[in-house]
Structure formats: structure tokens, C-alpha cells
């Protein structure tokens, strides 16, 4: 039996525990109790969530009590510091357990314990920059649903904890069981770790009508070349002035923004249509299927075929 220990502290966000349902239903689908789940805290006893709900916990003992340890998040990691005892246990768990995970801002506990040093990690987008500032040796990727780096797993916001749990389930029991659990939980789509936390179309949020107009033009013409010169001409600016204003307002270069828009459009086509990858590449402005795959891997960390398999399976 695979034992999973959820580690909570006062003020934990109750949504962190929602991912336990994935493992519960995995036992139902498997027809046997493959997973055993228990909640832990430093001293044991009742622990109060940020909502005020109390849950009973067992005291933390040896990390060998579970093969997977999952550290839950809090609403604001800037005001809640993990205790020395919790950090000491996290270090032991990270060195001994099969998997150690941080859901949402639970990643701050792992980072404080030194488990994320020189690793890729994610957290809720609202705190990603703070995680990077506090722990410069962590490679923070603020646009990922969840990330696996060796034995360390981290997820974005609370609902992404469900996706992280589904990823664990698939590794343990296979894709078919994972798809069956997703159906039972009425998860519209089981998201892969490489998916973005937020829409690129919303994230750019330019301040001026000119740059907004350029983006609107780009969205309608993704299949075209969309050079800086063409975009600048559309809004009656010189290429140099357009690049300067665009970067200042969006935080991205025009080339990077267009690539991200194309990636998002391609991902949506792959998930929601039956068009061939050659057609998807052509319609979203990539040279060919191979170019699409290269940029997809760089942007999302997964291949277009993997995203399509997950979408169809869900």
C-alpha cells in the first residue's frame, strides 16, 4: 500500500486537501485500497484551517511513515512562516521519501527547507516573483500548472493540486485509471503539468489603445508573418518606437508575445479540434509540424501529441 501524508499547519488553505479525493477515487477504480491517506502536523491534534475548520492530525514522526509527503499551502506565505520543526521534517522527507510535494504556496516550505535549490518549481502566480526573490537558486516557472523535478513536485494555485495528484496517480497506476478517476470527478480536462496557469491573451494587458490594437491584429492574423514592421505599421509607429512602447507596456518583446499567443492558439486547437498537427502549425503561424513541436517543448515542457492524448482521454 502506498501511504500519503498531508502536512498541515495552522492557517492552512482547506482547498489543499481537495486533492485527497483523487487518491480516494483511485482506490475505488482500482477495486482495492492502493492508497492510504493521513493528515499530519508537527504536534498532532486539532489544526485550524484559514476558514476556521478544524481537522484531526497525527504528529509528525519518521519520514518513513509515508512514501509521498505533500505540504499544504496557506493564503499568504508572506505572513505565515514555517516552524523550525516543520522545516527539519521537510528536509528529512525530501531525502528519504519517494516523492515530496508542495501544493500552491506549500512550495515556500520546500524552498525554505532547501529542497528546491537548483530545481525547477512553480507556485501560485501571485507569489511566484516573491519565491524567486527569496530563493534565487530556485528556477521558478510562474506559468506552469505543476512541475516535477526529480522526486520534488510543486503545483500552482489550489485547484492545480488536483492536477498534481492526477499526475502522481498516472505514474502509479497508469493513464487508464487516471482517465477513469478524472471522469468520476467530472474534471472537464485533466491538465498536464506543462499547461499555463493563465491565459496569455489576458496576461499581456497593455495600457494604450495602440498596443491593444496591435495585439488584436496579431490574434486575427496568427497564420501570417507578423513581423515587428507589420505590427508597427498597423498602429502607425516606427518599428523602433513600437518595440520600445510594446515592451514597456507588456513586459515582453513583440517576438516573445507573438510566440506565446501562437502557442496558446495552437494548444487550444490541439485540445479542441481534430485538425492534424500540420494544419495546426500552419493556422497558428509555425513553419511546420517540427517547428511547432520544438516551440511547444520549450514553452510547455510537453509535446503537442501528449496534450492531444490527454485532451482526448479526458
What are the pLDDT digits (tens) for 172-218?
A: 999 889 888 988 887 754 455 444 544 454 456 677 888 988 988 99
Mean pLDDT on 3-8? 96
Calculate what percentage of the chain has a pLDDT beyond 70: 93
Measured torsion, CA atoms of residues 266, 269, 275, 276, in degrees rounded to the nearest 10: 30
pLDDT at 204: 65
Calculate what percentage of the chain has a pLDDT beyond 90: 61
Cα(263)–Cα(285) distance, rounded to whole angstroms? 9
- Residue-wise pLDDT for 98-109, tens only, equals 999 999 999 999
Sorting pLDDT into bands at 50, 70 and 90, what band is 269? Answer: confident
CATH 1.10.10.60 placement within the chain: 200-313
Judge whether residue 312 has pLDDT over 70: no
pLDDT at 203: 55
Judge whether residue 25 has pLDDT over 90: yes
What is the model's pTM? 0.65
Q: How far is CA 116 from CA 113, 147, 159, 249, in A?
A: 8, 11, 21, 32
Sorting pLDDT into bands at 50, 70 and 90, what band is 264? Answer: confident
Cα(50)–Cα(158) distance, rounded to whole angstroms? 13
- Residue-wise pLDDT for 214-251, tens only, equals 988 998 899 998 999 999 999 999 999 999 999 998 88
**Greater pLDDT, 93 or 310:** 93
Q: For the chain, what is the mean pLDDT?
A: 88
Mean pLDDT on 44-62? 93
CATH 3.40.50.880 placement within the chain: 2-184
Mean pLDDT on 38-46? 95
Mean pLDDT on 117-140? 93
pLDDT at 186: 76
261 in helix, strand or coil?
A: helix
pLDDT at 307: 82
Question: C-alpha grid cell for residue 238?
Answer: 516606427
Domain 2-184 belongs in CATH node 3.40.50.150: no
pLDDT at 314: 47
For domain 200-313, the CATH superfamily is Homeodomain-like (1.10.10.60)
Cα 307 to chain centroid, rounded? 14
pLDDT at 160: 87
Amino acid at each position: 500500500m502506498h501511504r500519503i501524508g498531508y502536512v498541515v499547519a495552522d492557517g492552512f488553505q482547506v482547498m489543499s486537501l481537495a486533492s485527497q479525493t483523487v487518491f480516494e477515487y483511485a482506490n475505488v477504480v482500482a477495486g482495492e485500497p492502493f492508497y492510504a491517506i493521513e493528515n499530519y502536523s508537527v504536534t498532532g491534534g486539532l489544526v485550524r484551517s484559514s476558514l476556521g475548520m478544524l481537522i484531526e492530525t497525527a504528529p509528525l514522526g519518521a519520514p518513513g511513515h509515508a512514501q509521498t509527503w505533500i505540504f499544504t499551502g496557506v493564503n499568504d506565505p508572506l505572513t505565515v512562516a514555517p516552524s523550525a520543526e516543520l522545516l527539519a521534517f521537510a528536509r528529512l522527507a525530501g531525502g528519504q521519501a519517494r516523492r515530496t510535494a508542495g501544493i500552491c504556496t506549500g512550495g515556500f516550505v520546500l524552498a525554505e527547507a532547501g529542497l528546491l535549490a537548483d530545481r525547477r518549481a512553480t507556485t501560485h502566480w501571485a507569489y511566484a516573483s516573491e519565491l524567486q526573490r527569496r530563493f534565487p537558486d530556485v528556477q521558478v516557472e510562474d506559468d506552469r500548472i505543476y512541475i516535477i523535478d526529480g522526486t520534488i513536485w510543486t503545483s500552482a494555485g489550489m485547484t492545480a493540486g488536483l492536477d498534481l495528484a492526477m499526475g502522481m496517480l498516472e505514474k502509479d497506476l497508469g493513464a487508464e485509471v487516471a482517465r477513469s478517476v478524472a471522469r468520476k470527478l467530472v474534471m472537464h480536462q485533466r491538465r498536464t503539468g506543462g499547461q499555463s496557469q493563465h491565459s496569455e491573451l489576458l496576461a499581456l494587458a497593455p495600457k494604450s489603445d495602440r498596443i491593444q490594437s496591435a495585439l488584436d491584429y496579431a490574434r486575427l492574423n496568427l497564420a501570417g508573418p507578423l513581423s515587428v514592421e507589420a505590427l508597427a505599421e498597423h498602429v502607425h509607429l516606427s518599428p523602433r518606437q513600437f518595440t520600445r512602447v510594446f515592451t514597456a507596456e507588456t513586459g515582453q518583446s513583440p517576438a516573445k508575445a507573438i510566440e506565446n499567443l501562437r502557442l496558446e492558439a495552437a494548444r487550444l486547437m490541439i485540445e479542441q479540434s481534430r485538425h492534424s498537427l500540420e494544419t495546426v502549425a500552419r493556422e497558428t503561424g509555425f513553419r511546420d509540424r517540427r517547428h511547432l513541436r520544438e516551440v511547444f517543448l520549450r514553452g510547455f515542457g510537453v509535446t503537442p501529441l501528449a496534450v492531444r492524448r490527454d485532451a482526448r482521454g479526458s
